[in-house]
Amino acid sequence: MATSSNYEGVLLGMGNPLLDISAVVDDAFLTKYDIKLNNAILAEDKHLPMYDELATKGNVEYIAGGATQNSIRVAQWMLQIPGATSYMGCIGKDKFGEEMKKNAQAAGVTAHYYEDEAAPTGTCAVCVVGGERSLVANLSAANCYKSEHLKKLENWALVEKAKYIYIAGFFLTVSPDSIQLVAEHAAVNNKVFLMNLSAPFICEFFRDAQEKVLPYVDYIFGNETEARIFAKVRGWETENVEEIALKISQLPSASGKQKRIAVITQGADPVVVAEDGQVKTFPVILLPKEKLVDTNGAGDAFVGGFLSQLVQQKSIEDSVKAGCYAANVIIQRSGCTYPEKPDFN
């Protein structure tokens, strides 16, 4: 392991910091609020009473979340190098916001939050049935991030310092201009820029914003459902995840970009990696059903584990292994949480 000074601020994440309000519910609850398992959506008016209802559940937990923030925290945990990661996003000036700051600090992540005066900190309802989760995000303050915050010297310094920059697709709904600034900076400075398809609705309804940034993306992550929607929206007549991954990896790149690698997870099925016109698959660590607590954060944890090796310039194979290890740890716990130290080698 190189000295920690080499890794200071090596990985930067930007996204929507949300406090997860997580509880085990039943099918009637899903029906009542018209939500589906293994999906992630933005809250509409009909969903708003859900947050108070979840808060009354005996098993409710409050866990700092948001997809990108989860991945960055997991990467920091896997790396065990103080100050290796940093993060930006918008929170409110309230107790949930304070909670978020404490959590980032405890995780060892250098967080520069933009604090919105008016909007409360964003929350995400995590509704768990039989270990599977449905996510409903009420972005609130997270939706208020402005590129002016990014351009401030002390914040842009985090961009300058980073060699790898990861942003989940969810941030496309909030600040596409911030993403563009960072993506262009990465291209000009030969840095690695990574994104995630994140959710079917991003691929369907934010296609233009996604399309604009894709040429800059060196690594694109996603799961099989998102990949299939991505293909469908583009009229690719295939449901085959390996074919889709290959096509995504071969979409046009901005000048100066070498190549794109697509990494698609498929739950308990093998991880698909497409690069240089080739597809490889890597088995995941299978978990007996009785050990599954919840899948919330599994995809985020996979990315975090993957990033922890990539920033050390390890192979794709090692990165996938670390991703699978991290996801396996997270699904045996509630939310995107982890033990004190990783046991990965």
**Among 136, 211, 210, 146, residue whose Cα is nearest residue 174:** 146
Q: CB of 187 within 8 A of CB of 181?
A: no
Which phi and psi (to 5°) does residue 88 adopt?
A: -135, 145
**DSSP character for 291?**
G
Q: CB of 192 within 8 A of CB of 313?
A: no
Enumerate the β-bridge partners of residue 62.
21
Q: CB of 113 within 8 A of CB of 17?
A: yes
Tokens of 246: 């290959």
Active site includes 343? no
Of the candidates 45, 208, 300, 318, the residue annotated as catalytic is 300
Could you give the CA distance from residue 91 to residue 19 in angstroms, rounded to a whole number?
Answer: 10
Q: Which H/E stretch holds residue 219?
A: strand 219-223
Query: Which residue is associated with the tokens 């914040």?
Result: 155
What residues are labeled active site?
300
